[in-house]
Chain A
Amino acid sequence: MIERSPVFDFVTYLAMALGALLVVIPFWITLVAGSQSLQEVSQVPISLLPSSHLFENLAAAWTRGDLGPKLINSFIVAIGVTVGKITLASLSAFAIVFFSFKARMLCFWLIFITLMLPLEVRIVPTYSIAANALLPFQVILDTLGITGLVQAVSGVQIALNWNLLNSYPGLILPLVATATGTFLYRQFFMTIPDELVEASKMDGASPLEFFWDVLLPLSRTNMLALATIMFVSSWNQYLWTLLVTTDRANFGTVVMQLKALIPAQNGTPDWNVTMAGALIIMLPPLLVVAFMQRWFVRGLISRDK
């Protein structure tokens, strides 16, 4: 440590405490307001100490926001995206880094260009594909004349249709179709020494055995990091879920319910229930980040390299 003057140490602690306060205040207010009664929460100025009504507010928010089924949906989507992304990303990065085939660099770029445009920016066109995810294949078949050929030969008309609106694939697949995970895995696979590949070849292991027995165990940290990042980002996804689920009762996620929990303009200002609901919705990703911090920080940063 360089300067160790008591004054400077004090300033450091003071600044860090102020920073912690800045970060924690919104959480604290959410917790405090969520534990108060309607009268307490409407007081001006409000008391900054928790009260005793937390559980009844949680129960009220649970019913009002229909949070039970919505939590299940959120977990299905978040876990689906996480598992899907890890599987696809590790496999495609494996192909890109460890195989020699003609279109390798083309595939590399095709996948990595997707990093450029986040889903929110291309929301309008992506929505159009959700009505029929097989449309591109239909058009390809039509253009190649296969549709006409099949119809002429067998009399069957090919009409591919897969509507993704109000379905779990619709909620999950567009979130999986980005390159973040592939990039992370690629960066890691590049650090694997050639000797390891050669040794594995000499032992007579197949490429898939090398992947399963050597690469996957080595990339465990990487996987935990990616899992944390994906879980948080898909749990918190808002715009896409809002568009793709018109049937909110069955396919809505908890984050979509936040708006429904806000008191109406001229209704009872029961912010205590709203905040209790927000607490439930914030908790799962917060717990994941708190427990996985060590790994996911490393993963986030290696994305920059």
Chain B
Amino acid sequence: MERRAYYRNGWLPWLLIGPQLILVLVFFYWPTTQALYWAFTLEQPWGGGNTWVGLDNFLAIFRDREYWTTVVRSAFYAIVTTGLSMTVALTLAAFVDRSLKGTRFFQSVYVWPYAIAAPAAGVAFRFIFAPESGLIGSINAIWPGIWNPAINGFHALAMVIVCHAWLGIGYNFIFFLAALQMIPRSITEAGAMDGARPFQRLIDLQLPLIAPTAFFLLIMNLISSFTDSFGLIDVMTEGGPIGQTEVMVYKIYFDGFKGLDYSGAAAQSIVLMLLVIGLTFVQFKWVERRVHYN
């Protein structure tokens, strides 16, 4: 990022960057440091100071079987959502990439889910999947009680996952299509002349070439499934039935703001932060490597 032409000015750059730095300090660095402090202390909910407890808060959540169930559930949620959403988006992008006549229309429709608030989609999907409604619920008229997300935890989780995957289609599609279109035509043509069929070309030729994008999306999707799941779950199931759709962010919210267990919630936040930082770090490493090999 080296430039030859610079401005030199004592105070002006500070004036320009100052507001952003102050905001970042107040709303990012301060709270994150605070969370660290909380995680290692025990705070009385109604004031009265903090006492240092070392790793006790972490040990408490790690000993809690319920916490591990939530972690495993979040991982399952993240993997299935990401897999579903990316597969659908890649398939659509591969077909759109043929750029037949009229493709533009489809292309713009596929982006729509990006605009929708997770809770709004949640409401729509809750109705679509409601056991008493006339859509998916119709199968209950044939086989009574076969579908009921209000009672069956697996049904509820499946419902939320499908909705989350749907929400991600737009974002994933945009990136996949852009990556596919950046592949030089000559390479695809050479593959075709060697006798590779379209599907074979997708697997052996295009996929390896768009691997960096796919990897970037993989990480972004995993992070989003940890963070954006709150709105969906709150509107669709409220973590129920009997906590069977509770994921990590929802548990933090529930323990911290409903249960007033700030120390426990802070420790859980730290675990989630480390997880997200870890994923981002892997991504940065990958980006670095990609630049290297180009």
- Chain A positions within 8 Å of B, measured between CB atoms, are 1-3, 8-9, 12-13, 15-17, 19-20, 22-27, 29-30, 33, 41-46, 88-89, 91-92, 94-101, 104, 107, 110-111, 114-129, 133, 135-136, 173-174, 176-179, 182, 190, 194-195, 197-198, 201, 207-208, 232, 235-236, 238-239, 242-243, 255, 258-259, 261-262, 269, 271, 274-275, 278, 281-282, 285-286, 288-290, 293, 297, 300-301, 304
Contact = CB atoms under 8 A, between A and B. Distances in A.
Report whether over half of chain A's contact residues are helix, strand or loop; otherwise say mixed: helix
Given A122-B31, A236-B116, A274 B100 contact: no
A199 to B, nearest CB: 9
A118 B135 contact: no
A23 B113 contact: yes
Nearest to B197: A3
B234 A259 contact: yes
21 contacts: A20-B106, A23-B113, A23-B170, A26-B166, A44-B138, A88-B20, A89-B20, A99-B6, A107-B17, A110-B24, A121-B272, A123-B269, A136-B25, A173-B27, A232-B114, A236-B116, A239-B249, A255-B117, A275-B127, A278-B120, A282-B115
Interface in B110-167: 110-128, 130, 132-135, 137-138, 141, 166
A207 to B, nearest CB: 5
Interface of B: 1, 3-10, 12-14, 16-17, 19-21, 23-32, 34-35, 38, 88, 91-92, 95-96, 98-100, 103, 106, 108-128, 130, 132-135, 137-138, 141, 166, 169-171, 174-175, 178, 188-189, 192, 198, 213, 216, 223, 226-228, 230-231, 234-235, 249, 252-253, 256-257, 262, 265-266, 269, 272-273, 276-277, 280
A12 B100 CA distance: 9
- 3 smallest CB-CB distances across A and B, nearest first, come from A46-B134, A125-B31, A236-B117
B109 A261 contact: no
A302 B9 CA distance: 30
Given A15-B95, A107-B21, A122 B9 contact: no
Nearest to B6: A100
